[in-house]
Amino acid sequence: MSRFVDLPRYVCALGGAVATINALLGAVPILHAGAGCGGNIGNAFNGASGHLGSGYCGGMALPSSNVFEREIVFGGEERLTEQIETTLEIIDGDLFVVVSGCMVEIIGDDIRAVAGKFRRADRPVLAVETGGFKGNSYKGYDLVLKALFRDFVDESSVKDGKTVNLWGIVPAQDVFWKGNLRVLKSLLEKLGLKVNTFFGDGETLDGLKKAGSAALNIVVSNIYGIEAAELFREIHGVPYISVPFPIGHYATENFLRSVGNALNLETGVPDELIKEEKKTYFNYLERVIDLYNDMDLQRYAVVVGDANYAPALTRFLSDDLGWLPELAIITDLLDDGQKGRLALEFVGYHSGIEPRVAFDTDTSGVVNHVNKCRPENDGSGYYDGFNPGFIVGSSFEKDIAETLGMPLLTVSYPVSNRVVLDRSYAGYEGGLRLAEDILSILVSGR
Amino acid sequence: MDFTKEKIPPVREDRLGACNAFGGTCHALSRQAKTGCLNNIRRSFTQTQGCQLNLSLIILSTIRDTVIIVHGPIGCGGGNIPMANGIKTFQKLRDPAAKGVVWLNTNLDETDLIKGGEEKLEEAILHADREFRPSAIIVINSCAPGIIGDDIDGLAEKLKDRVTAEIVPVHCEGFKTKIMATAYDSLYHGILRNLIDRADNPVPAGEAKGNSRKVNLLNLSSMSRIDEIELERLLGVLGLEARILPCYAHPDDFGDIRDAALNVSVCATHDDYLTGHLREKYGIPVVTSDIPVGIAATGKWLMNIARFFGLEKEAGQLIESETGKLEKALEPYRKLFKGKRAYVAGGEIRIFATAELLADLGFEIVGLHGFHYDRFMDDLLESRPDKEKMIINIGSGQPFEQSNILEKLKPDLFVGHLGINGWAGKHGIPVFAIFGPGASYMGYKGAFEISRRLARILRNPMFSRNIGENARLPYARQWYEKSAFAYLEDGDPTSQPSKGAEYGQQLPA
């Protein structure tokens, strides 16, 4: 049985679905839900995903059937039909996706049947059940991907060995999603690949439609988008690999080689490419060697994040930055199998560090894990504690950071204290950004 | 009548004749309200809005030393995620030791919807009490547990001896009402039943009441500490002491509420449920005039309070001295604003007060948009000298109608509500937020500060202009060729589009 969550770091499946559709250029969600659902979701992402904004047709502009008592009693399909008709008249979009909230699912409205009535409309209308009780935002992302792969992507018997699809980076829940997709796409393009990321810069619905002709799907996550990858393989016969979210030079090299191996690229991943990327990376990173050593900028660290960021940040801190990330807390709702897979991402560090890994969905739980992890002060005056420390987490760690006197960089959702535009923490470039942002905090008093 | 005997308060559609769909002139709205058929108007296209849970949570989160439990599926209450740190900062302005916002979601899943969610709620309440030791645990019910019949009041009763905190159930099923402002009634209902009307909380003795100079000053979550200080200052000059609540108050403050001589509300639509109950049940009178935004409204507000205490002379002197100083300070701004055209959108009470201030400063008001209508708007509509011509749009958000109107009216300034300001900005129009919990709006200080900020915003509107030239709004071209009110319909499917449609057509093309 699932339990309550203290300060949840996600919204519901409907919320994740809406954020995902909003991130797809040309697509417009139509909510079949209570009047407050869209507003609630809009606030959650607009304010806590690096001030993402309403986007093209999100926030208060979200088309929504706004069901009330009347529809709950008599059924809401008629109202939804009307809302789809009027949305098609008013809203300029290329693809409309009906998503449902809890209430209309409880009363049994058949949204797919209603959407089916618009088969002959000049623009496609899809439907996907995303009732909030089905799971959290990450679940909504998977549900929408599955619907797109099932109902929108064309089947293609011919595969292009140089084309890949990449997902697993969840729009809005990953505050830096767009920058991350851009960086990973441009890295893979250096291998001569054509890359569809669906939600990144320059992507089109047409690209999504033809995604079935790819040779490989790359899921940059061990958790998010996996169900969708399974379905894609089933329908379109495209295999997938699941790779951890890469930050910094070790993880990115691993990422590139995993893709190269999976594609059986004849030449493999060219060593020159990795050499060149590393050269640039260290050419920049080298600059802080004076500061790092003069000021002793090595830190103990606590990482709090989702299933993509927590492992990636912890590994970067350990292996790229040479820090001591003693504790990582993963805040997602996960089953035991998923927890097991994630635990494996914390072993085999080049530094030899073995971080303690905790799974906790409660924000108030973070402080308990930190206390458990720190050696107790015996009051002798000689205390080998957990300082100097640093927290890489979310805006919810502001209190504990203040209490423990540790500086905080917010990376994982919610991030309400930063404005995020095109910043990326993925790849070589992302490693540099992260080093900049972390170290800048340490010198911000100057 | 005493609604607090019931577990759930009535919705505003029933209690106040509230509606959230209209387009036409102020006079037409007022006329149609009198016929009582406003609530039949509906939109055949709607955009999302907000529900009473969203709004209740914003207000209840400000109350110190509480834990809030949102009883619902995992997304309910998520709109609060970005607010937590900001609310803590504002709490600390009232109490430096304030602990900030803690809220839990009971994470109802498919199984819970079948077998009921009370067990999970019980676990959450016990955890909240043990882990955080708050004074009050506020349980907010969302749609789903409402429909499966979870009995949150029964559970609160059952657990009351096992937890130290007061349990305050608040019923916020979003689907029950189109009017977000029903939230005010729902949360005051919960507060009245559990923190005020209690057998162990006797009414204070007679002499303390009525003779005292203590007033309950009812604040808003959209109000800043600066505004509170300004209103406290003005009341202080009259020798009155203000106890400020409900926002940022401590649960114990509500227990003391009945020792005041007077309830002072700055917004009838916000407070009438509470003040009405306190008047009827405990005989505490209430002064509700328009929100003290602007020079005239502040004067009127002060005078109404002063009249109650027989302090008209003192208030007259205060108003005269304050306005004298202010008028001089405002002189340079009046020249800047003369003839600039402004469109004003927001809460039903605030838009009228703000429009009056803007007109006083030299702006020409070209249109109004209220997030809902209820009977507290009637006098405001009728007292506008231009009521026969002034366009008013009623809708919670609904930025598609707003975009249509702005495209036609092309105002020099948009004054609006959080959530729709960005949509006006995408038209390239400079925007002034009609409220903000960090800025000064109220009293004489507010009138000056609003003027200063307006002058600053209008001095360089390049950011909105740049975005306006380069952003794409989501509406089809043909939408702008229709009446802004083309999707408003009377409830009867055989009838023509609402009367508003003809007025919408009259907006300049």
What is A160-269's CATH number, 1.10.287.3510, 3.40.50.1980, 3.30.365.10, 3.40.50.620? 3.40.50.1980
Distance from CA of A255 to the nearest CA of B (A): 33
Query: Hey, which residues 210-249 in chain A have their CB within 8 Å of chain B?
Result: none
- pLDDT, residue A61, reads 98
Q: Which pairs from B269-272 meet CB under 8 Å and 24+ separation?
A: B269/B181, B269/B184, B269/B347, B269/B348, B269/B349, B269/B374, B269/B376, B270/B181, B270/B184, B270/B218, B270/B220, B270/B349, B271/B184, B271/B188, B271/B218, B272/B376
Residue B509 has pLDDT above 50, yes or no: no
Q: Are A13-151 and A160-269 the same fold in CATH?
A: yes
Kindly determine whether residue B49 and residue A60, on different chains, have CB atoms separated by under 8 Å. yes
Residue B119: closest CA among chain A residues belongs to which residue? A3
Tell me, which fold does domain A297-415 have in CATH?
Rossmann fold (3.40.50)
CB distance B44 to B217 below 8 Å: no
- At B388-433, the pLDDT tens digits run 999 999 999 999 999 999 999 999 999 999 999 999 999 999 999 9
Asked if A3 has any chain B CB less than 8 Å from its own CB, the reply is yes
Q: What CA–CA distance (Å, rounded) separates A243 from A248?
A: 14
Q: For position B186, what pLDDT does the model report?
A: 95
Highest mean pLDDT among B31-45, B408-422, B493-507: B408-422
Q: Any CB–CB contact under 8 A between A67 and chain B?
A: yes
Taking 70 as the pLDDT cut, the residues of chain A under it are 1, 265-268
- Give the pLDDT of residue B497: 52
Q: Does B69 touch chain A (CB under 8 A)?
A: yes
pLDDT of residue B504 exceeding 80, the answer is no
CA nearest to B83 within chain A: A47
Q: Please determine, for residue B496, whether its predicted confidence score (pLDDT) is greater than 70.
A: no
Residue in A409, A331, A9 with CA at minimum distance from that of residue A172: A9
Q: What residues 170-199 of chain B have any CB closer than 8 A to a CB of chain A? A: 174-178, 180
A residues 325-364 near B, CB within 8 Å? 333, 364
Q: Which residues of chain B have a CB within 8 Å of the CB of A136?
A: 74-75
Tell me what pLDDT residue B207 has.
46
In this prediction the ipTM stands at: 0.96
pLDDT at site B501:
60
A2 vs B: CB within 8 A: yes
List pLDDT tens digits, range B93-146. Answer: 999 999 999 999 999 999 999 999 999 999 999 999 999 999 999 999 999 999
With a cut of 60, say whether residue B212 has pLDDT above it: yes
| Chain A residue numbers touching B104 (CB-CB < 8 A) | 4-7
Task: Please indicate whether, in this complex, the C-beta atoms of A60 and B82 are within 8 angstroms of each other.
Answer: no
Say what the pLDDT of residue B40 is. Answer: 84
- Partner-chain residue, chosen from B86, B143, B474, that has the shortest CB–CB distance to A103: B143
**Cβ–Cβ gap B51/A35 under 8 Å:** yes
Q: How far is A420 from chain B (nearest CA, A)?
A: 14
Write down all domains in chain B, each with its CATH number in brackets.
50-196 (3.40.50.1980), 206-316 (3.40.50.1980), 330-506 (3.40.50.1980)
Q: Is A21 on the interface with B (CB under 8 A)?
A: no
Average pLDDT, chain B: 93
Peptide bond before residue B332 is cis, with ω within 30 degrees of 0: no
Could you tell me the residue ranges of all domains in chain A? Answer: 13-151, 160-269, 297-415
Low-confidence winner among B198-202, B338-342, B372-376 (lowest mean pLDDT): B198-202
Chain A contact for B485 (CB, 8 A cutoff): no
A318 and A325 Cβ atoms separated by less than 8 Å: yes
Mean pLDDT of B350-371: 97
**Interface residue A80 vs chain B (CB under 8 A):** no
What are the chain B neighbours of A5 within 8 Å (beta carbons)?
74, 104-105, 107
Predicted local confidence at residue B490, as pLDDT:
80
Give the pLDDT confidence score for residue B453 in this predicted structure.
98
What residues of A are in contact with residue B180 (Cβ under 8 Å)? 36
Residue A298 vs residue B202, higher pLDDT: A298
Given a cut of 60, is residue B209 above it in pLDDT?
A: no
What 3 state SS string does chain A have?
Answer: CCCCEECCCCCEHHHHHHHHHHCCCCEEEEEECEHHHHHHHHHHHHHHECCCCCCCCCHHHCEECCECHHHHHHCCHHHHHHHHHHHHHHECCCEEEEEECHHHHHCCCCHHHHHHCCCCCCCCEEEECCCHHHCEHHHHHHHHHHHHHHHCCCCCCCCEEEEEEEECCCECCECCHHHHHHHHHHHHHCCCCEEECCCCCCCCHHHHHCHHHEEEEEECCCCCCHHHHHHHHHHHCCCEEECCCCEHHHHHHHHHHHHHHHHCCCCCCCHHHHHHHHHHHHHHHHHHHHHHHHCCCCCEEEEEECCCHHHHHHHHHHHHCCCEEEEEEECCCCCHHHHHHHHHHHCCCCCCCCCEEEECCCCCHHHHHHHHHCCCCCCCCCCCCCCCEEEEECHHHHHHHHHHCCCEEECCCCECCCCCCCCCCCHHHHHHHHHHHHHHHHCCCC
Which range has the worst mean pLDDT, A77-91, B145-159, B210-224?
B210-224
Residue B325: per-residue pLDDT = 95
If pLDDT is split at 50, 70 and 90, which confidence band does B506 have?
low
**pLDDT at residue B498 above 60?**
no
User: Which of residues 361 through 400 in chain B touch A, CB cutoff 8 A?
Assistant: 396-400
Residue A238: predicted pLDDT? 96
Task: Using the predicted structure, report yes or no on whether residue B208 has a pLDDT greater than 60.
Answer: no
Query: What local confidence, expressed as pLDDT, does residue A377 receive?
Result: 81
CB contact under 8 A, B49 and A39: yes
**What's the mean pLDDT in B303-308?**
96
Q: Regarding the domain delimited by A13-151, which CATH topology (the fold level of the hierarchy) does it fall under?
A: Rossmann fold (3.40.50)
Task: Report CB contact under 8 Å: A364, B143.
Answer: no
